[in-house]
Each structure stands twice: as structure tokens, then as C-alpha cells.
Amino acid sequence: MNLDIKEYIEKEFYYLHQHPELSYREFKTTERLRQDLVDNGIEILPYNLETGLVGSIGSGDKTVAIRADIDALPILEEAVVPYKSLYDGVMHACGHDSHAAIILGAALLLKQQEALLKGKVRVIFQPAEEAPGGARKIIEAGVLDKVSAIFGIHSAPIYDVGTLGITGGPTHAAVEKFELLFEGNGTHAAHPNLGKDTVLIASHFITAVQSIVSREIDPIDSAVVSVTHIQAGNTWNVIPQSAFLEGTIRTYTRESRILAKQRFEELAKGIASTFGIKVSLKWTVELPATFNDYKLEQLARTTALEEGFIVEDAPRSLGGEDFSLYQEKIPGFFVLIGTGKTFPNHNPKFRISPEALYPAAKYVATLVRNYLES
Ligand code: NI
């Protein structure tokens, strides 16, 4: 094969960057990647997926998976790049285009070495990481069956090209999204005694939930409770009938996660009952914390040095990453790829240095080979 993989994946990266698609709408992206696999003789496994796809390389009993997410964000791009998004208001601002290009590159490299591989590689292009939770679709389709480990990557604009962030244990938090509705009894602002003031009651609740992190969670552990959206009333002289709140809870450990949710529910119900009104609570996003397997960490580190990378400890964050859903099932490791220091992920000026792609692809391919040989 005379394919120049470096040039090939850079070209695919430019295409993906110019054609960003939102979660669960990654139809063109899926088609493009499907064509890439077909053109390069990589088998596509017949899983029932609306968007996203899974390729397979090699043979044998041991199976390892590599995963890229492929969705973009509803952000108007402000980055100055010659391959700017062609879709107004949609942008690959989290670098998932680079993840797809890197994992594609790793797949092409592994395909070239297929005869020497000591097992099978499942190449996962996952939809809707930002939804979040597209990983659930992949798991429900059965893609992890017989897979003994999984590797994932993420673009990291905190590092120069040539640096990898590698840390064992939890690096991304468990994510809960809550939606809460206090239902009281509307009345004239001048006659509060004739109603139940949901604005006052919601205020008590918003203050009280801050005690979860400061007074209930072990101070050595990290957690955040944020009420980010309040909606109640629409004028000055009416006490509104209801108050809607939404926001998020972030935790690292299982114990803190259970405790935070339990106390949050108890405070909502307790405050509602104290003031004699109704409350309903819905958890609309629930993701565990990531957990990077310590054995795989060793492999990730030695492979990084073998491939000439500088290794740094990846910073822990209370951001979420649905790679955690795979790690709940099988050992997994998530590596941060230095893509050139620039604006943070999800910023309209975020950008990737394309020269980061090929070395990262080579790294992932070597990591997979080392895993299969271990
Ligand atoms: Ni991301």
C-alpha cells in the first residue's frame, strides 16, 4: 500500500471540520468515515446504529477497542483557519473532528500491519458525546461484547503538539442534570398570605443545596452543585404559580455521587413540604465519573515514551466525558493529546494544530499493538 496516511487523515480532518454535525445528526460524517473504511479495505461491522459506525481489523480471540466521538457543537466558529466550518452556528469546537481523524489514522496503520496483529481491533466512531451519552447507543448495540479493553483520546489545547496527558484513576466527573419544578399557588403581590410564594421557596432551596458540597461531602473529595437556570413569573405584581430550576451536580466518587443526589432530593422534598407546596424532580442526564485503569496507565505511559512523546499528568476536571460509560463495563484508558496551546475546548476560537494528528494516530496504533501483545 502506498497510502500517505499523514496526508490522508489531514485531508479528512479538514473535511470533517468544514462539515460539523450536531449530536445524533452525524449523517454525512458517518457516510464519509464509512467510505474511508471501505476505500481502505477495513471491514464494517453490521451493528444497528443510526449514526456512528464500527470497523474491525485483525483476527484472533483477544479484542481491544479504540473510540473517537464525532459530533460538533452549536457554536458559531470564530477561529481563523482556512478550513472554517461551512455551517453557520455549528462548529467542531471540542476537537471531535481531530479524534475521528486520529482514530481513522490508527485504523489505517493497523490495517497495514494486520497480518502481524495478535488479536482484533474494534474501531468505534461514536455519535453524540455532547448530548451527552451517545456511548450508550454503542454499548446497547453490543459493540463491547468480547472486548477486553478500550482506549479513547481527547484533544488538549493546554499542551503543545508532542505532549500527552496521562493520569490513572478518575479524571472527569460524574454528571447529573436536574430539572425541578416547585408548584405553589399564585396570588397578587400585595396579598402573599393568599398564595404560596414559589420564588421565596425556590430561593430557600437554592441556598440550601450549597450546603451539600460545603457541609455534607467529604472536604477531601471534589464536587459541585450549580443551579444555572431559574424561571418564575413574568411581571412585578404577581406572585407566580410555579418556579422551574435546572442545573448540574458534578462528583468524583461513587459515595459522593449517591450522597449528593440523595441530599438534593431530600432538600427539594423537605423544603417543599415545609412550605406546603408540591415539587417534582427529574434527573435528565446521568453519567458516571471516568476511571482510567491503572494497569493500562503503565502501557499508555511506556508507549508514549516509546513514541517520543513528553508525558504530563492529565489535570483532573469536573467536566464530564461519556467515555465513562465504557469504563463502567470494561477497563479503559483516556489519553489527552496535545493539539497545540490555544483557546479552550468549546470556545469559538478553539483550533487544532493539524501536525498533531499523525503522531497521535501512530501512538494509538502502537498502544493497541502493545496491548494485544501484553
Ligand atoms: Ni469533547
Predicted local distance difference test score (pLDDT) of residue 2? 65
| pLDDT > 70: percent of the chain | 99
CA of 52 to the centre of ligand 1 (A): 15
Residue 164 has pLDDT above 70, yes or no: yes
Mean pLDDT, rounded, for 116-142: 96
pLDDT in tens, 237-267: 999 999 999 999 999 999 999 999 999 999 9
Residues of CATH 3.30.70.360 domain(s) within the chain? 174-287
User: What is the structure's pLDDT at 132?
Assistant: 83
What is the whole-number distance in angstroms between the Cα of residue 99 and the centre of ligand 1? 9
Separation of 301 CA from ligand 1 center, angstroms?
A: 22
Average pLDDT of the chain is: 97
Task: Tell me the average pLDDT across 332-358.
Answer: 97
Ligand 1: centre distance to CA 23 (Å): 12
345 Cα–ligand 1 center, Å: 7
Q: What is the pTM of this model?
A: 0.91
Residue 303 Cα to ligand 1 midpoint, Å, equals: 23
What is the CATH code for 5-171+289-373?
A: 3.40.630.10
Residue 95 Cα to ligand 1 middle (Å): 6
Find the 128 Cα to ligand 1 centroid distance in Å.
10
Give the distance (Å) from ligand 1 centre to CA of residue 108. Answer: 23
Q: How confident is the model at residue 275 (pLDDT cuts 50, 70, 90)?
A: very high
pLDDT in tens, 39-72: 999 999 999 999 999 999 999 999 999 999 999 9
- How far does residue 297's CA lie from ligand 1's centre (Å)? 21
Q: Is the pLDDT of residue 177 over 60?
A: yes
Any idea which architecture 174-287 has in CATH? 2-Layer Sandwich (3.30)
Domain with CATH 3.40.630.10 in the chain: 5-171+289-373
C-alpha 365 – ligand 1 centre gap (Å): 21
92 CA distance to ligand 1 centroid (A)? 9
Q: How confident is residue 268, by pLDDT bands cut at 50, 70 and 90?
A: very high
What is the pLDDT averaged over residues 197-203? Answer: 97
SS (H, E, C) the chain: CCCCHHHHHHHHHHHHHHCCCCCCCCHHHHHHHHHHHHHCCCEECCCCCCCCEEEEEECCCCEEEEEEECCCECCCCCCCCCCCCCCCCCECCCCHHHHHHHHHHHHHHHHHCHHHCCCEEEEEEECCCCCCCHHHHHHHCCCCCCCCEEEEEEEECCCCCCEEECCCECCCCEEEEEEEEEECECEECCCHHHCECHHHHHHHHHHHHHHHHHHHCCCCCCEEEEEEEEECCCCCCEECCEEEEEEEEEECCHHHHHHHHHHHHHHHHHHHHHHCCEEEEEEEEEECCCCECHHHHHHHHHHHHHCCCEEECCCCCCCCCCCHHHHCCCCEEEEEEECCCCCCCCCCCCCCCHHHHHHHHHHHHHHHHHHHHC
